[in-house]
């Protein structure tokens, strides 16, 4: 008898504990190593997940390194094949199309939110940047790339697989062009604002796309003299400058401030003053000088990238918010942000309250 070289590899089965089964049935996407009762699989494989009694629960990505051993893909007993992935991608793209987003740069796939755990896909005009953050999506990358080429026909696709979280999966950090070509900068539009992004070296996949709606909304509240702290390439500054008399943008990165200056010129915004400086130090200096502003934006990088950093992060957030509140004119607006996963909304609200009490100012949430 001859061998059938087209035979699919046998699916591995992972049995979870009763607690793990409850988590899956309650809608959780992750099962931790402590709730895996039996079974092993290849790194990044799609596995069948069974309850202790052998009943089918789900199909999931398997990781042999991460504490997150299983990332749930579907609770239906269906094959996870190319058609499955194409359907998931089509659903994600269709949803964005229905939103009628007034921008050429936006998130196409947001991991668990689009039922493709640990995969991020961002669109930047004719280009796509993606991140595979687990063994499962790393193994899936060639198939996802092929599907994106078929569905979106991008000029280029870049894998921004440089986040440190990949190390927890035993994966290398790297940036790789996986299709076509990627230029040094890509021009995108957000509302009426145009700006350049660096898909190879820029933050996240190139820009902070998750703040797009907030940047546009903030324009309703600003006027007069405005201070934009941790401005990076000008996401807030470019949106706010047309509504204020003058805007000072601060960032510690010379590359970021140089890009911001170019973006300001691109949009004909002559009222933006860009300074390369340590924001913490500059806020203290501005206070000593008696400077005041009608609106201040605080959009710092994540201060708490792990639970162990929460206490230090809380101190940092309080410091910058306290200084900013002291610089605000009466009736001024503070637009303050946190992108630290480990600092939740309640904790952040307490930070602002404590800062306001120490600054001896009354504040209202608008």
Q: Which residue numbers are catalytic?
A: 339
Cβ(317)–Cβ(334) below 8 Å: no
Cβ(32)–Cβ(68) below 8 Å: yes
CA–CA distances in Å: residue 131 to residues 29, 197, 238: 18, 17, 27
Separation CA 218–CA 72 (nearest Å): 37
Cα Rg of the chain, angstroms: 23
Cβ(131)–Cβ(161) below 8 Å: yes
Separation CA 293–CA 190 (nearest Å): 26
Separation CA 341–CA 313 (nearest Å): 11
Cβ(258)–Cβ(249) below 8 Å: no
């Amino acid at each position: 008898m001859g061998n059938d070289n087209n035979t699919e590899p046998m699916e591995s089965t992972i049995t979870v504990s009763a607690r793990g089964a409850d988590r899956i049935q309650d809608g959780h996407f992750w099962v931790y190593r402590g709730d895996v009762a039996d079974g092993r699989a290849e790194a990044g494989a799609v596995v069948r997940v069974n309850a202790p009694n052998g009943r089918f629960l789900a199909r999931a990505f398997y990781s042999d390194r991460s504490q997150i051993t299983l990332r749930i893909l579907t609770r239906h007993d269906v094959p996870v094949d190319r058609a499955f992935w194409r359907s998931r991608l089509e659903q994600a793209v269709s949803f964005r199309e229905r939103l009628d987003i007034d921008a050429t740069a936006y998130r196409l796939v947001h991991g668990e939110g689009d039922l493709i755990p640990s995969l991020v896909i961002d669109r930047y005009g004719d280009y796509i940047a993606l991140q595979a953050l687990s063994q499962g999506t790393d193994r899936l990358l060639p198939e996802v790339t092929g599907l994106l080429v078929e569905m979106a026909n991008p000029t280029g696709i870049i894998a921004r697989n440089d986040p440190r979280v990949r190390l927890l999966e035993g994966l290398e950090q790297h940036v790789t062009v996986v299709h076509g070509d990627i230029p040094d900068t890509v021009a995108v539009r957000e509302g009426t604002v145009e700006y350049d992004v660096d898909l190879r070296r820029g933050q996240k996949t190139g820009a902070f796309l998750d703040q797009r709606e907030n940047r546009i909304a903030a324009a309703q509240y600003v006027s007069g003299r405005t201070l934009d702290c941790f401005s990076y390439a000008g996401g807030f500054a470019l949106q706010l400058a047309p509504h204020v008399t003058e805007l000072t943008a601060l960032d510690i990165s010379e590359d970021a401030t140089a890009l911001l200056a170019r973006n300001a010129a691109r949009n004909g915004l002559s009222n933006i003053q860009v300074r390369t400086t340590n924001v913490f130090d500059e806020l203290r200096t501005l206070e000593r000088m008696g400077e005041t502003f009608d609106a201040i934006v605080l959009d710092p990088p994540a201060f708490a990238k792990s639970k162990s950093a929460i206490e230090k992060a809380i101190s940092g957030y309080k410091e910058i918010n306290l200084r900013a509140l002291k610089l605000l004119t009466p009736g001024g607006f503070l637009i303050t942000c946190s992108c630290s996963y480990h600092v939740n909304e309640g904790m952040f609200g307490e930070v602002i309250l404590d800062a306001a009490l120490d600054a001896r100012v009354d504040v209202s949430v608008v």
